Every structure is written in structure tokens, then in C-alpha cells.
């Protein structure tokens, strides 16, 4: 009887964890930046997620194909991920929020303790 209660309890915990995981925002996919200058793939990379440049229209700003942003984020709400983002090319770490919708994203990156922030809009690429 005691073993049955333990198994039942573990099953409830597992199901609750699966429900939470299923409700987490998922930013995976290919996205076009609102200014039309970049297309990125967001996908898992180890325990983090990475945004990797697939295409850059104008490289004069220092962006190149293959550049990557490594995001260590967790759900903040039903539609928002929040945490840190590391840009290995520039050796900079940002605080980041990613608001996820079905066909769009809005990223908000901040440096200098949140004093300097920038929002970027993205649409899902075909």
C-alpha cells in the first residue's frame, strides 16, 4: 500500500511537471527581424537556447552569418521568457526578455543594470 502511494505521488509530480513544461513559451523557429536586416534560427543548444544568424542583409553593423546569442532563460509568465543572454563575439552579457506569440516575438535586451535597453520585434519567417 505504501509503495502504491509513493508511485501515485511520483506520477502526480511527473504529470504536473509535464503540464508546466507544455505551457512554457517556445521561441523555437526561424525569425525575421522587424527592420528586415536579419534572419535567425532559435533552437536549443545544450541547456540553453541559441539565436544564430542565418542571413544578414547589411553586415556594416558588425553582424555576420553564424553569429550566435546564447540565452539562459526561464519562463517568467505564460508568454514570456527571461534571463541572461551572452554574445560571444562581443563578450557581452545582457539581461533579456522574450515575449513569445504564435507569429511574432519581441525581445528586450538591457545592459548597464537595466539603464540601457532595446526592444526588437520579430516575425516568424516562412
Look at residue 114 in the predicted model and tell me its pLDDT.
83
Mean pLDDT, rounded, for 72-89:
96
| Residue 89 cell numbers, joined | 563575439
CA distances from 96 to 11, 68, 69, 120 (A): 34, 15, 11, 11
Burial letters 8-30, b for 16+ CB under 10 A, else e: eeeeeeeeeeeeeeeeebebeee
Tens-digit pLDDT profile for residues 83-104: 999 999 999 999 999 999 999 9
Tens-digit pLDDT profile for residues 36-73: 999 999 999 999 999 999 999 999 989 999 999 999 99
Half-sphere exposure of 49 (CA within 13 A, CB side): 21
Weakest mean pLDDT among 7-21, 26-40, 85-99, 103-117: 7-21
Model pTM score = 0.78
Which of 114, 115, 72, 68 lies closest to 91 in space, CA to CA? 68
Amino acid at each position: 500500500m505504501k509503495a502504491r502511494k509513493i508511485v501515485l505521488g511520483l506520477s502526480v509530480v511527473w504529470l504536473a511537471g509535464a503540464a508546466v513544461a507544455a505551457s512554457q513559451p517556445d521561441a523555437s523557429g526561424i525569425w525575421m527581424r522587424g527592420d528586415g536586416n536579419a534572419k535567425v534560427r532559435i533552437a536549443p543548444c545544450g541547456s540553453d537556447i541559441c539565436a544564430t544568424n542565418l542571413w544578414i542583409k547589411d553586415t556594416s553593423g558588425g553582424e555576420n552569418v553564424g553569429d550566435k546569442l546564447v540565452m539562459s532563460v526561464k519562463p517568467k509568465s505564460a508568454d514570456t521568457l527571461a534571463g541572461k543572454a551572452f554574445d560571444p563575439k562581443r563578450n557581452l552579457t545582457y539581461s533579456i526578455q522574450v515575449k513569445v506569440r504564435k507569429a511574432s516575438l519581441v525581445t528586450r535586451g538591457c545592459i548597464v543594470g537595466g539603464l540601457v535597453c532595446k526592444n526588437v520585434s520579430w516575425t516568424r519567417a516562412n
